[in-house]
Amino acid sequence: AQSVTQLGSHVSVSEGALVLLRCNYSSSVPPYLFWYVQYPNQGLQLLLKYTTGATLVKGINGFEAEFKKSETSFHLTKPSAHMSDAAEYFCAVSPTYSSASKIIFGSGTRLSIRP
Amino acid sequence: ETGVTQSPTHLIKTRGQQVTLRCSSQSGHNTVSWYQQALGQGPQFIFQYYREEENGRGNFPPRFSGLQFPNYSSELNVNALELDDSALYLCASSLDGGRNTGELFFGEGSRLTVL
């Protein structure tokens, strides 16, 4: 079975500061990993995904994440926060091999940006 | 390219009633997944439909049911509504059938309030 734990339900950083959102996963098979963003009153949008290959994944809006198998982590980072980054961020996992697979989401981290 | 559209956007029901939520998948997508997102929580997987057949189900009771039509649009039906069914219901479409290799494209959701 797969599961996702996001550490910190709320993270606040200053504009221009480093953004670090933490995600740890549990999976009995090699996982696919995702970060989604949800702006107020909108659906979720894919930021980036890891399937196979390079463990450092770059996404939209300057975000990136690194898959660390030994730590079962997939933390999301951005070097310099912008006011428009304020949103809810969800880490998600799905199994690589399943005929009836589904994506499992974490409980989310709300990112606030201070001027 | 038409994105995922959901209707209605908001609705209010009373306990014991039944509700039908509708979703039109993104053009060319043959898979629809439904998620329930309670306030302050991550999306919880309800079920997935691929080529008009249920293709995986989360931990939801049988009063949550669905359909997928030949044009790949979908309905979520909930019978005997309970207060805890109050949530944002998200529909997501994708191309990969039963193999969740990548991106889910989300609609903006239907917000259900049960009184």
Per-residue pLDDT tens for A38-47?
Answer: 998 788 999 9
Residue-wise pLDDT tens digits, A56-88: 999 999 999 999 999 999 999 999 999 999 999
Residue in the structure block whose two tokens are 């990112």: A111
Position A42: which residue type?
A: Q
Question: CA-CA distance, A33 to A31, in Å (whole number)?
Answer: 6
Contact between chains at A90 and B41 (C-beta distance less than 8 A): no
Distance from the Cα of A29 to chain B's closest Cα (Å) equals 14
Q: Phi then psi for A39, rounded to 5 degrees?
A: -85, 160
Asked if A37 is an interface residue toward chain B (Cβ–Cβ < 8 A), one would say no
Q: Do A107 and B41 touch (CB under 8 A)?
A: yes
Per cent of chain A over pLDDT 70 is 95
Inter-chain touch A98–B101, beta carbons under 8 Å: no
The verdict on a CB contact (< 8 Å) between A100 and B56 is: yes
Closest chain B CA to residue A10: B40
Option in A51, A95, A105 nearest B42 (CB): A105
SS (H, E, C) chain B: CCCCEEECCEEEECCCCCEEEEEECCCCCCEEEEEEECCCCCCEEEEEEECCEEEEECCCCCCEEEEECCCCCEEEEECCCCHHHCEEEEEEEECCCCCCCCCCEECCCEEEEEC
Which chain A residues in 52-91 lie under 8 Å from chain B, judged by CB atoms? 90
Q: Report whether A101 contacts B99 (CB < 8 A).
A: yes
Tell me the β-bridge partners of A22: A7
Per the model's pLDDT, the better-predicted residue between B58 and B16 turns out to be B16
pLDDT in the model for residue A100: 47
Cα dihedral sign for B30, B104, A105, A53?
Answer: positive
**Structure-token pair, residue A4:** 């996702």
